[in-house]
Chains A and B, each alone.
Chain A
Amino acid sequence: MSDRGLTALEGLGASPRRGDRLPAPQVSSGPGLIGGFFEWFGDLGVFSYQVARAAVTRPFEFRELVRQLDEIGSKSLPLVALAGAATGVVLSMETSSSLAMFGAKSMLPAAIVWSVIQEMGPIITGLVVSGRVGAGIGAELASMKVTEQIDAIEASALNPYRLLAATRIVACILMMPLLTLAADAGGLLMGWLAETLADPISLRQFIDVGFKGASFHMFLPPTLKTAFFGLIIGLVACFQGMRTKGGAAGVGRAATNSVVLSSLFVILADVVLVKLILILFPN
């Protein structure tokens, strides 16, 4: 998780910072795996504090936020919807035969609706956005870092935490639940289509049976939990990008680490959040 391997070679080429600056490892002799692990989280904590402080203080970068909402939200929509649709089809085909074995084929719409909305839609959206947006943010900011564009933003009397990180993280938080709805819609629609091709059922009937006994608040927590996935994806990607060192190799590493770490943390967070939702909303 640490960029220690390169630090010995990097010398003085980048912008070393102290105090409230972007955290950047500087010592050539590494602290080892455990030390690096804690150092990474420590740096992430400092970074999060800087971003949070920048995000809640004026001036607000609304124009950049809108641009990021478009970049992260609108442009991820087709991919997320497609991934949701594919999941719906697979779920329909797999579950159909399983339920048929137990003579519970009539439960298929409910199985698809509950699976897609409660778990498959959110987690698929989290992983797809981790890949597309996490890599994009990580690579973009890393490239800006190694070409001194982030320093140029600071030299222009602007706060890069506010302009670059806060806007992207807030956009991820806001767009994730909306993208999840798109994945859910794609999954349900294609789940129905796959089912109706094998065993004709009207969409109206599919929805009526699928949502029977369900209430709105049952679906709300799983959808809203993806806002937390958005926080993880945005935070990890911005952090990896803005602490990059080492030229083109560093940019590649930042993109890879952004995807790997944000995907990993999304999965881990999902485990915790599912348990939390079951505790807070037992029915």
Chain B
Amino acid sequence: MNTTYDITVKPEETAEDSSLPVVAVQDLHMSFGDQHVLDGVSISVCRGKTLAVLGRSGTGKSVMLRIVIGIVKPDSGSVLIHGKEITGMAVDRLGEVRKKMGFLFQNAALYDSLTVAENIAFPLEHHRRDLSRAELRDRVNQLLTEVGLEGHGEKMPSDISGGMQKRAGLARALALEPDILLLDEPTAGLDPISSGEIDELVIELREQHRMASIVVTHDLHSARTIADRLALLDEGKVVIEGTFAELQASGNEFVREFLKYS
């Protein structure tokens, strides 16, 4: 099921042509000691589309997401963002690529010494130095409104619920208006209502901003709701990639077992 993509794409083409992959991961390998976490994983996502990556715990889903944003370097394989190879990129050039990517961490990873509003303002203060204080405040308020946190900007991360922290993390990820959104377990640890609200928010933001999104999750219901396609990982390989209907129709034993227990 692993697909090899023709990903030699000019950046300006991807901005216009939604059929070309914005993110293309090819033949990714990653080991920790003797354990091969990723063993030739290839996936791709186009503009305005969402791919959900599913799999058992410890199958390297989150590691793959970190490789995509360049926080972790793979043993081998390539990651192309808008057609640019990032795996061997120098830190400062990688920074330029990351400005076009938003990352929601599993536990939101909000800066605990800053308020919610300061967390959202953080990337703007460092990368949008052209903004005046008033413009910065307006942008932060706009983001707070987009994620339904208006009136909570002055609270500290420890004073808000897990669902609100995820929303704040999402607002921070969206601050620089990325065209790629990476979500690591966006509904983990949330009650069904909060999970549903996060799902709706992700769909709404994706449609509003036409971002390419990769969602790593254990939550099959969430994956079905927000993703166009699903990829199922097992033993470091993509077992199947397709729509939920294609997964249901699969005769693969692991796929059937995964769907049965999800």
Contacts and interface: CB of A to CB of B under 8 A. Distances in A.
B95 interface: yes
B126 A15 contact: no
Given A12-B32, A20-B91, A155 B37 contact: no
B71 interface: yes
Given A17-B73, A158-B95, A12 B63 contact: yes
Q: Which 10 pairs show the lowest CB-CB distances between chains A and B?
A: A157-B98, A148-B109, A155-B103, A152-B109, A157-B95, A18-B73, A156-B123, A157-B99, A148-B105, A154-B71
B69 A155 contact: yes
A26 B33 CA distance: 7
A258 B167 CA distance: 35
A216 to B, nearest CB: 42
Contacts of A16: 32, 63, 72
26 contacts: A11-B32, A12-B32, A12-B35, A12-B58, A12-B60, A16-B32, A16-B63, A21-B71, A26-B32, A26-B33, A27-B33, A147-B107, A149-B109, A151-B71, A154-B70, A155-B101, A156-B122, A156-B176, A157-B96, A157-B98, A157-B123, A157-B126, A157-B127, A157-B176, A158-B95, A158-B123
A57 B96 CA distance: 15
Interface residues of A, number: 27
Contact of A15 (B66, B96, B101): B66
Nearest to B125: A63
A147 B37 contact: no
Interface centre among A19, A20, A148 (most CB of B within 10 A): A148
A25 to B, nearest CB: 11
A152 B72 contact: no
Contacts of B32: 11-12, 16, 26
A21 B94 CA distance: 13
Contact of B105 (A26, A28, A151, A157): A151
B12 interface: no
Contacts of A156: 98, 122-123, 126-127, 172, 176
Contact of A19 (B69, B73, B105, B123): B73
Contacts of B70: 154
A220 to B, nearest CB: 37
Interface string A26-47: 1110000000000000000000
B138 to A, nearest CB: 20
A104 B193 CA distance: 83
A159 interface: yes
A209 to B, nearest CB: 50
A15 B123 contact: no
Contacts of A158: 95, 123, 126
A94 B122 CA distance: 54
Interface string B83-115: 000000001100110110101011101111000
